[in-house]
Structure 1
Amino acid sequence: MSHNQVTPGDDASDRPLWERSGPELKDLAERRPEELYAATEQLCRRASAEGPGGASVARAAGRIAETLADTRSRDCVTFAVDIVGRLLPLELAERGEADPLLRSVAAKLVKAQQLRDLEPLFGELPEGIRGPAVELRACLLGELALIGSGVGRRTLDAYAERLTELGHPLARLPRMRLDIEHRFTVRVRGLGSIKTPTQLRSRFPEVPSTDSGAVAGRRAGDTRDDERAKAAARPFTAGGWACEPEARFFTLPSPLSPDDFGISFIKELPLHCLAGEGRHRARALACATTPDDALNELFSASYYGGVSGQGQGGAYARLYAWDSLYALMRLPADVPFLEAVRRAADHRWLRFMAFTDWFHHDTSDAAFAVLDPSRTRVAVLAATDTDGDRDVLG
Structure 2
Amino acid sequence: MAKTIKQLMDGLAGSHEVGEVCRLLDAHLAGGDTAYLAEFGAALHARYSSGHAGAEHQFLFDRILWDVATRPGRAHVERALRLGLATRSRGGRPVRRAAAVLAEHQRPAALAGVFAAALDAGTAPEELRACLLHELVLRGAPVARLPEARAWAEASPYWAEHPLAWLPWTLDPLEGTPAMPRYWRGGVGYGHAYGLPKGTPLTGSADVPVEVGEDEPGLTAAVERWAGRYDGRVEAAVFQADGPVGPETLPGTLAALPLGCVERPTVVPTTAAEAWRQLFIAASTGGGREDDWWYGAYGRLAAWRSLAALAGAGPDSSAPEVARRAGDCAWYGFTAAGEWFNRDDMDLGFVALDAGRRRLAVLAATDYDGG
Question: What's the TM-score bracket when you normalise by the shorter of the two chains?
Answer: 0.7 to 0.9
Note if contact 1:294-1:368 (Cα within 8 Å) is conserved in structure 2: yes
Unaligned runs of 5+ in 2: 182-190
Q: Work out the CA distance in 2 between the residues paired with 1:55 and 1:327.
A: 48
Matched, 1:37 2:19: no
After the TM superposition, which residues 134-149 of structure 1 pair with which residues of structure 2 at under 5 Å, given as runs?
Answer: 134-146=126-138, 147-149=140-142
Can you list the C-alpha shifts for 1:207-259, whole angstroms capped at 9, x where unaligned? 22231x2xx2xx4334573733442534x649x97443423223335233324
Give the AA of the match of 2:210: A
Unaligned runs of 5+ in 1: 279-283
Matched, 1:336 2:321: no
How far did 1:287 drift? 0.8
Q: Given the alignment, which residue of 112, 127, 133 partners 2:125?
A: 133
Can you list the C-alpha shifts for 1:169-205, whole angstroms capped at 9, x where unaligned? 2222111111111131279xxx963657xxx5xx324
Q: Work out the CA distance in 1 between the residues paired with 2:7 and 2:339.
A: 52
Segment drifting more, 140-149 vs 160-169: 160-169
Matched, 1:225 2:215: yes
Q: Given the alignment, which residue of 355, 364, 371 partners 1:382?
A: 364
After the TM superposition, which residues 170-181 of structure 1 pair with which residues of structure 2 at under 5 Å, given as runs?
Answer: 170-181=164-175
Matched, 1:291 2:272: yes
Corresponding residue for 1:268?
A: 256
Matched, 1:109 2:99: no
Corresponding residue for 1:302?
A: 283
Can you list the C-alpha shifts for 1:125-169, whole angstroms capped at 9, x where unaligned? 9999x9962111112211222213222222111112335753112
Note if contact 2:194-2:278 (Cα within 8 Å) is conserved in structure 1: no
Q: Work out the CA distance in 2 between the residues paired with 1:353 and 1:295.
A: 17
Segment drifting more, 143-152 vs 293-302: 143-152
Q: Work out the CA distance in 1 between the residues paired with 2:37 and 2:252.
A: 61
Q: Work out the CA distance in 1 between the residues paired with 2:346 and 2:111.
A: 36
Note if contact 2:180-2:296 (Cα within 8 Å) is conserved in structure 1: no
What is the root-mean-square deviation of aligned Cα atoms in Å?
Answer: 4.3
Q: Given the alignment, which residue of 199, 204, 211 partners 2:199?
A: 204
Q: Given the alignment, which residue of 90, 115, 123 partners 2:116?
A: 123
How far did 1:21 drift? 12
How far did 1:77 drift? 0.9
Segment drifting more, 119-128 vs 342-351: 119-128
Q: Work out the CA distance in 1 between the residues paired with 2:301 and 2:327.
A: 20
Give the AA of the match of 1:150: V
Corresponding residue for 1:281?
A: none
Identity %: 26
Q: Given the alignment, which residue of 297, 308, 332 partners 1:315?
A: 297
Q: Work out the CA distance in 2 between the residues paired with 1:334 and 1:125.
A: 35
Corresponding residue for 1:75?
A: 75
Note if contact 1:329-1:379 (Cα within 8 Å) is conserved in structure 2: yes
The answer to which structure has the higher helix fraction is: 1
Segment drifting more, 41-50 vs 243-252: 41-50
TM-score by length of 1: 0.73
Q: Work out the CA distance in 2 between the residues paired with 1:140 and 1:20.
A: 35
After the TM superposition, which residues 146-165 of structure 1 pair with which residues of structure 2 at under 5 Å, given as runs?
Answer: 146=138, 147-163=140-156
Q: Given the alignment, which residue of 230, 251, 262 partners 2:239?
A: 251
CA spacing shift, 1:40–1:250, aligned 2, 3 Å: same
Q: Work out the CA distance in 1 between the residues paired with 2:232 and 2:214.
A: 17
Q: Work out the CA distance in 2 between the residues paired with 1:221 and 1:6.
A: 75
CA spacing shift, 1:163–1:288, aligned 2, 3 Å: farther
Give the AA of the match of 2:129: R
Segment drifting more, 115-124 vs 37-46: 37-46
CA spacing shift, 1:226–1:287, aligned 2, 3 Å: closer
How far did 1:43 drift? 4.6
Q: Work out the CA distance in 2 between the residues paired with 1:362 and 1:139.
A: 31
Note if contact 2:220-2:234 (Cα within 8 Å) is conserved in structure 1: no
Q: Work out the CA distance in 2 between the residues paired with 1:150 and 1:75.
A: 20
Q: Work out the CA distance in 1 between the residues paired with 2:83 and 2:6.
A: 20
Q: Work out the CA distance in 2 between the residues paired with 1:262 and 1:174.
A: 34
Note if contact 1:242-1:384 (Cα within 8 Å) is conserved in structure 2: no
TM-score by length of 2: 0.77
How far did 1:116 drift? 2.4
